[in-house]
Amino acid sequence: MKKITLLLASLGLFALQSQAQITLPFSEGFETATVGTLAANTASIPGIPDWEYARSGGSARLRTNAGAGFYNTGSRAITLDQSTTSGTSINYLIGHLDMSNYNVATATVILDFNYMDHGDEPSANDRVWVRGNNTDTWVELYDWEAASTGTGQYFYVAGINLTTALVGAGQNFSATTELRFGQQDNFPANSITSSDGLTVDDIYIYQRLNLDAGVLAVDSPSFPTCSPGSNVWVSLKNHGVNTLTSAVVQWEVDGTLQTPFNFTGGSIAYGNDSSMLIGTSSVTMTTSSTIKAWTELPNGVAENVAGASNDTITTTLAPGISGVFTIGGTAPDYATIDDARIDLETTGVCGPTTFNLRAGTYNEQVTFGQIIGSSSVNTVTFTSEDAHKDSVLWTNATATSGSRGTINLNGADYFNFTHLTIENTHFSYPTAVTLKNGSDWNTFAWNCLLGDTTPTSTSTNQSVIYTPTGSVDNNNTFDNNTIWGGSYGAYFYGSGTTSLENNTTFTNNWFKNQYYYGARFYYQDNITFSNNKVSTNSTYT
């Protein structure tokens, strides 16, 4: 079957391709995609011929293997971003689906997918759409930026009703039904948490059945696994039209079958889930145990095989890190600071965690996101091994408007940075520390924070410490630091009169030789600025 698809008039892209009629359930994990990067409109992506890439913007790109941490499962996913920091790009991943054997009058068709946000700011094209055929108007299904609550972690989006969306637009499934995932922004995804871009993986389209139950997640033991215990909790989800009143949950630990759990006497409506204790393991669980759980007999009836794909969950536990580790020098635990960041973001923490930096120079720009398991007790500390700030120089000459600090805290909480010299020598953005996107409860103490030490600019771009306008970052403390140079020593602006930054604390610091402001604070509540020294050689008048 042939079809001609007009993708975007503005792009002038026409795609001519054929495909087989699909049978639900349908899944796409992109594992057959050819490894590589696309930087041009591509009607049929190599290895996944029913998927198309459409783009606008000079550095827009699609990657099938962006790197470790970018994949929900397997070793492929589709990452949409741009390769440089010049201009703004729009990316579309478009699936061409022959659904001519389905009709909105008789089939309730559901879409699930997984995605990861790498710090993308909200844009008009950060959406998911469907249309019944390739000449219909696109129907918006999901705004993934509005729904995103963090970076560097996968979000499972379940239960989007394609039938309802098409009926509402007066459309129907056809041989040229299309599904479109969009992304728009102006920076590359250099890591899973920075700076822009979105990744989509593991798309699943299926028919909703009258009776369809499944185990959604293993709730406990959780990740990171600090103490597994012996009790197992799972979330039981009702994927079916009929209210779920009973089901059997089978489960095993490390391959050993456990006593089944009978869910009775409850009531779970369609699309809802309920967490429940399914039993105590008969074998000792460790921090690397594998737990598998699956459902049988929803409402006492054998489930249609079409619903089998959402029955089972398999989780392998993983311990979080804790304790004291070394970075750099001879035989360290981590060669670089960024190696430590990757481990933190991959495994989480199970207790207070300290990284001692050996004496030397570290030329790295590092962006830290939220660390699973971090708390007021389970803090993450980076400090010089000899507790002397002059022994460690953490420097960087690479910066962009969206990623300007040598240290960038992007939604990161409960970090401590002590006894370090932190420097940025970039000509446009010489910022030592940036906090943004709800970075809370962080402490910088006994450091030397260096920007441009011979400043001549009044621009906020050259602040030594910076929180962007509109970002609300609370309960952050700077104590006993030398804050040297820059247009501003510190620039905290908050979001507005109804969204103030709270409990910012600057005590016992030396603000040295700023050109314009020692510190500027706006839209703040309960700020503490006490016992600081401000001195300058500025010629600004």
Provide the mean pLDDT of the chain. 92
Q: CA nearest 136: which of 92, 176, 99, 102?
A: 176
List CB contacts of 113: < 8 A, sequence separation 6 or more: 128, 157, 181, 200, 201, 202, 203, 204
To the question of domain 2-207 being in CATH 3.90.850.10, the answer is no
| Fold match, 2-207 / 213-316 | no
DSSP single-letter state for residue 288 = T
Greater model confidence, 399 or 510: 510
Burial per residue of 380-399, b for 16 or more beta-carbon CB atoms within 10 angstroms, e otherwise: bbbbbbeeebebbbbbbeeb
List CB contacts of 134: < 8 A, sequence separation 6 or more: 3, 4, 5, 6, 96, 176, 178
Q: CA nearest 246: which of 281, 284, 276?
A: 276
Phi, psi of 415 (to 5 degrees): -100, 145
DSSP single-letter state for residue 425 = -
What is the chain's alpha carbon radius of gyration, rounded to the nearest angstrom? 26
Per-residue model confidence (pLDDT) at position 364: 96
Pair 72, 154: CB distance under 8 Å:
yes
Per-residue model confidence (pLDDT) at position 19: 67
pLDDT (tens digit per residue) in 24-69: 889 999 999 999 999 999 999 999 999 999 999 889 999 999 999 9
Considering the domain delimited by 321-535, tell me its CATH architecture.
3 Solenoid (2.160)
User: Is it the case that residue 2 has pLDDT exceeding 60?
Assistant: no
Q: Tell me the fold of 213-316.
A: Immunoglobulin-like (2.60.40)
List CB contacts of 301: < 8 A, sequence separation 6 or more: 211
Specify which of 164-168, 224-228, 369-373 reaches the highest per-range mean pLDDT. 164-168
Cα angle 250, 253, 259; round to 5: 40
pLDDT (tens digit per residue) in 325-343: 999 999 999 999 999 999 9
Q: What is the mean pLDDT of residues 417-434?
A: 95
User: Is it the case that residue 297 has pLDDT exceeding 90?
Assistant: yes
Per-residue model confidence (pLDDT) at position 20: 83
Binning pLDDT at 50, 70 and 90, where does residue 403 land?
confident
Binning pLDDT at 50, 70 and 90, where does residue 149 land?
low
Q: What is the mean pLDDT of residues 109-128?
A: 93
Binning pLDDT at 50, 70 and 90, where does residue 117 land?
very high
User: Is it the case that residue 212 has pLDDT exceeding 50?
Assistant: yes
Per-residue model confidence (pLDDT) at position 11: 38
Burial zone of 404 (CB within 10 Å; 0-12 exposed, 13-18 middle, 19+ buried): buried
Q: CA nearest 189: which of 117, 260, 239?
A: 117
List CB contacts of 517: < 8 A, sequence separation 6 or more: 487, 488, 489, 491
What are the extents of the domains in the chain? 2-207, 213-316, 321-535
pLDDT (tens digit per residue) in 235-272: 999 999 899 999 999 999 999 999 999 999 899 998 89
**Residue type present at position 335:** A
Q: How far apart are CA 436 and CA 198, in angstroms?
A: 19
Q: How far apart are CA 467 and CA 288, in angstroms?
A: 39
List CB contacts of 67: < 8 A, sequence separation 6 or more: none
pLDDT (tens digit per residue) in 198-207: 999 999 998 8
Per-residue model confidence (pLDDT) at position 79: 98
Sheet strands (E) in 370-523: 380-384, 392-395, 405-410, 415-418, 421-423, 431-436, 443-445, 448-450, 465-467, 477-479, 482-484, 488-492, 501-502, 505-507, 510-512, 517-521
User: Is residue 25 reached through a cis peptide bond, with omega within 30 degrees of 0 on the bond before it?
Assistant: yes
> Model-level pTM?
0.63
Q: What is the mean pLDDT of residues 117-144?
A: 94
